Chain A
Amino acid sequence: MRQTNLIRNIWLGVENLLLHKLRSFLTMLGVVFGVGSVVAMLSVGEGASQEALEQIRKLGSNNIILSSLKPVEDEQASTTRSRMSIYGLTYADLDRIASSFKNISHVAPVKLMRKEARLHDRAMELRLVGTTPDWFELVPREVVAGRVIVPSDQDRQAPVAVLTEFGARKILATRSTIGQTVRIGGDAFEVIGIVRSETSQGESMQIPDQNVDIYIPIEVARKYFGDIVFRRTAGAHEREKVELHQIIIRVDDAERVEATAAGIESMLERFHARRDYAMSVPLALLKQAEATKRTFNIVLGSIAGISLLVGGIGIMNIMLASVTERTREIGIRRAIGAKRRQIIVQFLIETVVLSTFGGLIGLGVGVLIPFLITYFSGMVTVVTLNGILLPLFISMAIGIVFGLYPAMNAAKVDPIIALRHE
């Protein structure tokens, strides 16, 4: 069997398409936009989900975060009269959790309050975090200067404070501030270290740290500031008694995170009459986010698929017209001795060249769009290798699928009739 060289065939196809430059270009546009939108959408979607996943990972994928939550009834009551609402996680909860589950490797209790921190003549309201040394295991942060809270600080109930970089900057604390005294709510604390702060977005995610935190040992926080918080809003006094604002738990094995979370949940239910706490499991969020991403990809994929389909139909339409227009040429080729298969190959190659070329241009457009989005809006976009290869492969496949029918039509041309028609 005689073989006609594939590269020569492709070159002839290109030559033929170049004869009608504008027509070829317009025919390609459908695929250009189809592929462009696929690439752009995939990269925007990928960027968004990577950002979400990153945030969840920051929470620690083996962690379970319990937070105190003011019950809805209390919220309404406090607006009408002045009384103390008592709710939230307790020291007893902490002990029970720590002693009941053997899969737990770390538990860190957290007391939160807003206090004014004063260094020399700079004052700033910061979020005071009373916690244990385990905190720094659970929410690891780079130490910029000095050290973090250690068990000995806890044992001797030392009035020591660790600043976050961002908070430190607000009160003009620097490296040299270590060892100096910062006054928090009137009491003196020794600054022992500064840690890197992470910019976190949205408390909805219940990210346990913020960038203006100041950390002190929890026993010290309890001794100095107590469990009762006063708040004065719109003329009404509001008093709250919350023992612990958060409990962060690390499970030793990712496989057991969800089971442990369920165990803790049922335990808390037994001891809390009202639902005055919330539980968040980053791993569950992670799984949920991944499921969301899959759904997102399917939706994007279908939209992009439709635009590619439209592009393919456009190509098919033009190729059908081209076959009709070139009936005579086909007849000549057949009379000279071209086999049906060779006619099919000729037209198929033309379509594939057209769609692949459209795909390549579309790829350029599709990579440019996410780049511009990132440049102008700061949104994270990620162009993955799959995000490039898949649309390119699809555009070639479109050439074959939508080129086959016109090519078969071309091969069906009867040379006798084709040569007769003027």
Chain B
Amino acid sequence: MAAESSTGSAHEIVRLENARKIYQMGAEEVRALDGVNVSFERGSFWAIMGPSGSGKSTMMNVLGCLDRLSSGAYYLDGKDVSQLDDDALSELRLSYLGFIFQSFNLIPQLTVQRNIELPLYYLGWDAVRSARRAKELAEVVGLGDRLNHRPTELSGGQMQRVAVARALTNDPQIIFADEPTGNLDSATGEQIMELLDNLNRQGKTIIMVTHEPDIAAHARNRLHMMDGGIDRIEMETHETDEPYQEYLARR
């Protein structure tokens, strides 16, 4: 089903090789990703930045297994997933990945507990275990007393906490955050970023899309995109800048 990456290291969690995503908009061809090569390490915290239309959303969707490449390879945890079908990608999202969105994306008719439990429902957990797990996670994000509320009864910050809890339910390898603070005021946004910082400290790989430099500053690595390609990369924690040179060379 998946081939071992020839070049991947043991620390590497995602790797794109010559990744292309081309949309056909009428007669026009839009190259959302145009031959991207990139590799993120396990446990790293990346911010993907760039102006709108730069391809950062497409990048996120591809890495999050929501979208498939037109050509090129995507290695997730060492396995090539670029040729997988819809069911297999769903399965990957269910067991490996967690998502946090700008507009929270909670299901309004479900209670906080039910929202947090949602991945477990598809994972086939029974109701009792699911409830216990949901309660645990609600406490982690500081909403242990809001389990039976509906999302509409919560503030924006609280809703995003629920979303963070939901993203953690399946104990994912990677958490994707798409403008997680975009709909929040700066104080609440900071609180959410602290949550993410904590998660990263506990070893979770976090890939975040944002256009706010303040928010991006939380990430230790920043990938700037432009016209479907990588503009530049900032890596705070890396001892050498060799990979950066490598990326540039590949472009």
Interface stretch (choices A124-132, A233-241, A287-295, A331-339) = A331-339
> Looking at the complex, which one of B91, B95, B106 makes contact with A339 (CB distance below 8 Å)?
B91
| Nearest-CB residue, chain B, relative to A328 | B105
Q: Does A386 touch B at the CB level, under 8 Å?
A: no
Assuming the A-B contacts A329-B107, A332-B105, A416-B66, are A337 and B127 also in contact, with contact meaning beta carbons closer than 8 angstroms in the complex? no
Q: What's the Cα separation between A176 and B20 when bound, in Å?
A: 111
Cβ A2 vs Cβ B61 within 8 A: no
Minimum Cβ distance to chain A for residue B63 (Å): 13
Assuming the A-B contacts A2-B122, A4-B121, are A338 and B107 also in contact, with contact meaning beta carbons closer than 8 angstroms in the complex? no
| Nearest-CB residue, chain B, relative to A420 | B57
Cβ A419 vs Cβ B101 within 8 A: yes
Q: Does A174 touch B at the CB level, under 8 Å?
A: no
> Looking at the complex, which one of A3, A16, A329, A335 makes contact with B66 (CB distance below 8 Å)?
A335
Mark interface residues in A1-29 (1 if CB within 8 Å of B CB, else 0). Answer: 01111001000000010010000000000
Cβ B87 vs Cβ A336 within 8 A: no
> Looking at the complex, which one of B91, B101, B103 makes contact with A337 (CB distance below 8 Å)?
B91
> Looking at the complex, which one of B87, B95, B97 makes contact with A340 (CB distance below 8 Å)?
B87
Assuming the A-B contacts A333-B118, A337-B93, A340-B87, are A2 and B99 also in contact, with contact meaning beta carbons closer than 8 angstroms in the complex? no
| Nearest-CB residue, chain A, relative to B97 | A337
Cβ B99 vs Cβ A416 within 8 A: no
Cβ B61 vs Cβ A416 within 8 A: yes
Q: Does B67 touch A at the CB level, under 8 Å?
A: yes
Q: What's the Cα separation between A403 and B173 when bound, in Å?
A: 37
Q: Does A34 touch B at the CB level, under 8 Å?
A: no
Q: Which of A328, A332, A333 has the most CB of B within 10 A?
A: A332
Mark interface residues in B91-131 (1 if CB within 8 Å of A CB, else 0). Answer: 11111010101010111010000000011011110110000
Give the residues in chain B near A419, CB-CB below 8 Å.
101, 105
Q: Name the interface residues of A368-422: CB closer than 8 Å to any CB of B.
A: 415-416, 419, 422
Q: What's the Cα separation between A332 and B101 when bound, in Å?
A: 10
Q: Does A342 touch B at the CB level, under 8 Å?
A: yes
Give the residues in chain B near A328, CB-CB below 8 Å.
105
Cβ B86 vs Cβ A339 within 8 A: yes
Q: What's the Cα separation between A342 and B118 when bound, in Å?
A: 13
Q: What's the Cα separation between A335 and B103 when bound, in Å?
A: 14
Minimum Cβ distance to chain B for residue A324 (Å): 16
Q: What's the Cα separation between A276 and B103 when bound, in Å?
A: 94
Minimum Cβ distance to chain B for residue A290 (Å): 54
Q: What's the Cα separation between A355 and B95 when bound, in Å?
A: 35
Q: How many interface residues does A have (CB within 8 Å)?
A: 25
| Nearest-CB residue, chain A, relative to B67 | A416
Q: Does B155 touch A at the CB level, under 8 Å?
A: no
Minimum Cβ distance to chain A for residue B37 (Å): 23
Q: Does B152 touch A at the CB level, under 8 Å?
A: no
Give the residues in chain A near B106, CB-CB below 8 Å.
332
Give the residues in chain A near B67, CB-CB below 8 Å.
416
Q: What's the Cα separation between A270 and B55 when bound, in Å?
A: 103
Cβ B109 vs Cβ A16 within 8 A: yes
Give the residues in chain B near A415, CB-CB below 8 Å.
66
Q: Does B191 touch A at the CB level, under 8 Å?
A: no
Q: Which of A335, A340, A341, A342 has the most CB of B within 10 A?
A: A335
Cβ B86 vs Cβ A342 within 8 A: no
Mark interface residues in B120-150 (1 if CB within 8 Å of A CB, else 0). Answer: 0111101100000000000000000000000
Give the residues in chain B near A16, CB-CB below 8 Å.
109
Q: What's the Cα separation between A336 and B87 when bound, in Å?
A: 12
Q: Does B52 touch A at the CB level, under 8 Å?
A: no
Cβ B95 vs Cβ A337 within 8 A: yes
Cβ A334 vs Cβ B90 within 8 A: yes
Minimum Cβ distance to chain B for residue A6 (Å): 12
Cβ A3 vs Cβ B122 within 8 A: no
Give the residues in chain B near A335, CB-CB below 8 Å.
64, 66, 93, 99, 105
| Nearest-CB residue, chain A, relative to B87 | A339
Give the residues in chain A near B126, CB-CB below 8 Å.
5
| Nearest-CB residue, chain A, relative to B167 | A336
> Looking at the complex, which one of A329, A336, A416, A422 makes contact with B122 (CB distance below 8 Å)?
A336
Assuming the A-B contacts A2-B124, A8-B127, A337-B119, are A332 and B107 also in contact, with contact meaning beta carbons closer than 8 angstroms in the complex? yes
Minimum Cβ distance to chain B for residue A339 (Å): 5
Cβ A2 vs Cβ B123 within 8 A: yes
Give the residues in chain A near B86, CB-CB below 8 Å.
339-340
Cβ A3 vs Cβ B124 within 8 A: yes
Minimum Cβ distance to chain B for residue A408 (Å): 14
Q: What's the Cα separation between A4 and B90 when bound, in Å?
A: 15
Minimum Cβ distance to chain B for residue A333 (Å): 7
Minimum Cβ distance to chain A for residue B85 (Å): 10
Give the residues in chain B near A331, CB-CB below 8 Å.
105
Q: Name the interface residues of B138-182: CB closer than 8 Å to any CB of A.
A: 166, 170
Minimum Cβ distance to chain B for residue A365 (Å): 30
Minimum Cβ distance to chain B for residue A2 (Å): 4
Give the residues in chain A near B97, CB-CB below 8 Å.
337
Give the residues in chain A near B94, CB-CB below 8 Å.
336-338
Give the residues in chain A near B91, CB-CB below 8 Å.
337, 339
Q: What's the Cα separation between A416 and B109 when bound, in Å?
A: 21
Cβ A19 vs Cβ B109 within 8 A: yes
Give the residues in chain A near B61, CB-CB below 8 Å.
416
Give the residues in chain A near B124, CB-CB below 8 Å.
2-4
Minimum Cβ distance to chain B for residue A54 (Å): 56
> Looking at the complex, which one of B95, B101, B109, B122 makes contact with A342 (CB distance below 8 Å)?
B122
Q: What's the Cα separation between A8 and B87 when bound, in Å?
A: 22
Q: Could you pull out 16 A-B pairs where Cβ atoms are within 8 angstroms?
A: A2-B123, A19-B109, A329-B107, A332-B105, A335-B64, A336-B94, A336-B119, A336-B166, A337-B92, A337-B170, A338-B90, A338-B94, A339-B86, A339-B87, A339-B90, A415-B66
B binding-site residues for A, Cβ under 8 Å: 61, 64, 66-67, 86-87, 90-95, 97, 99, 101, 103, 105-107, 109, 118-119, 121-124, 126-127, 166, 170
Additional A-B contacts beyond A5-B126, A332-B118, A336-B166 (15; CB < 8 A): A2-B124, A8-B127, A328-B105, A333-B107, A335-B66, A335-B93, A336-B93, A336-B94, A337-B91, A337-B93, A337-B97, A337-B170, A339-B91, A416-B67, A422-B103
